[in-house]
Amino acid sequence: MNRTISYTDVSARYLIPFIFDAAQAFPPNSRESQAARLIGEWNQMRTDDNGDGFFDHPGQTIFDAWLPIMVRNTLGETLDGFELKQIWLNAGYQTRNPRLEEHPSAGTLVLYYALRNSRSLTGVPHHHDLFGDTSPDKVVRQSLSEAVAAAAKVFRTPMEQWLTPAVEQVFFDTNANRIPMTSPGLSFRLPLYANRGAMNFMAAYGEDQDSPLVRYVNPPGIQGRLAPGERAEDNPLLTNHLEAYQNHELLRTYLNREMVEANSLDGQVIRLDIPGDRPKL
């Protein structure tokens, strides 16, 4: 599985160019210019390569602080009185136990197209100016100033040390709809969240069209359950997929009886005697 896809920030590449352009108006020695420089030095990957429990770059911290402020400063007044206002203003990232994949929020998408439209880049006429009488670059700068000021109160250290805690990958005992998937209370964690869902798979033809190749990596709850009194570490069907997921690997899926029997560790055959005619498919 692709490591870059797993950890790339979903919004940064689209919005950082607007920060660059607007930040040119700040004095070179200002905190805002330093913040814009750090954002530019960030590789736009949400990674923890040294395993210290923190994301690797302060540019990510500053961008994460800027984005929700920018969305609020752009859409907030327009959405006053709108019942679903907070949903549209929610532009942050999941910071604890994500259950869903990250994607640009609705407010982030509106912000992006508003910025593009301000430069006549959308090709679609807009009939409402979300920036009002203020230039978009000024709103970008104002939001960056607010983000830097807010972050400075939290960290109280040099800006190069503004690192936020990394988000763990959690495999729950229920799915996103809270439907049980495995033994109650059985959950696993990996040190870093990968933005590619809890189950990944690939299907392709083998040497010929009659030899399909299927590879999966499943969340532990789907891959296996615990028998009464069994420990998770004693069940290889739980832990091998966890290791493969962390290493961006996929495991072979066996598609016929011969392959299954040749690679089985243990098993129990259950035969069902269904009375009456079987339903026709």
Residue 225: what pLDDT? 63
CA-to-CA distance for 113 and 91, rounded, in angstroms? 15
The count of structural domains within the chain is: 2
Looking at the structure, tell me whether residues 73 and 156 fall in a common domain: yes
Model's pTM, two decimal places? Answer: 0.83
Decide if 276 is inside a domain: no
Two structure tokens written together for 48? 């923890």
**Across all residues in the chain, what is the average pLDDT?**
85
Two structure tokens written together for 20? 């660059």
Higher pLDDT, 144 or 239: 144
216 by DSSP, 3-state: which? strand
Q: E strands of 96-227, at which residues? A: 169-171, 188-190, 200-205, 212-217
Decide if 42 is inside a domain: yes
The set of residues, in sequence order, having a beta carbon less than 8 Å from that of 163 and lying 6+ positions away, is 54, 55, 56, 57, 58, 61
Residue 200: what pLDDT? 80
CATH value at residue 61: 1.10.1400.10
Looking at the structure, tell me whether residues 52 and 103 fall in a common domain: yes
**Cβ atoms of 244 and 251 closer than 8 Å:** yes
What domain range includes position 204? 197-262
Looking at the structure, tell me whether residues 57 and 113 fall in a common domain: yes
Residue (of 151, 143, 150, 152) closest to 71 by Cα position: 143
Residue 278: what pLDDT? 59
The single-letter DSSP state of residue 164 is: P
Decide if 68 is inside a domain: yes
Looking at the structure, tell me whether residues 22 and 89 fall in a common domain: yes
CA-to-CA distance for 178 and 140, rounded, in angstroms? 39
Residue 64: what pLDDT? 96
Looking at the structure, tell me whether residues 156 and 226 fall in a common domain: no
Higher pLDDT, 280 or 32: 32
Looking at the structure, tell me whether residues 134 and 234 fall in a common domain: no
Decide if 273 is inside a domain: no
Looking at the structure, tell me whether residues 156 and 228 fall in a common domain: no
Decide if 189 is inside a domain: no
Q: What is the pLDDT of residues 118-143, one digit of tens each?
A: 887 877 777 788 888 899 999 999 99
Higher pLDDT, 109 or 182: 109
Looking at the structure, tell me whether residues 136 and 9 fall in a common domain: yes
Kindly list the distances between the CA atom of residue 183 and the CA atoms of 57, 177, 236, 243, in Å, as whole numbers in the listed order: 38, 16, 15, 20
**Cβ atoms of 75 and 130 closer than 8 Å:** yes
Residue 277 — very low, low, confident or very high, per pLDDT cuts 50/70/90? low
- At position 41, the amino acid (one-letter code) is E
The single-letter DSSP state of residue 54 is: B
The single-letter DSSP state of residue 234 is: G
Q: Please state the separation of Cα 264 from the chain's center in Å.
A: 35
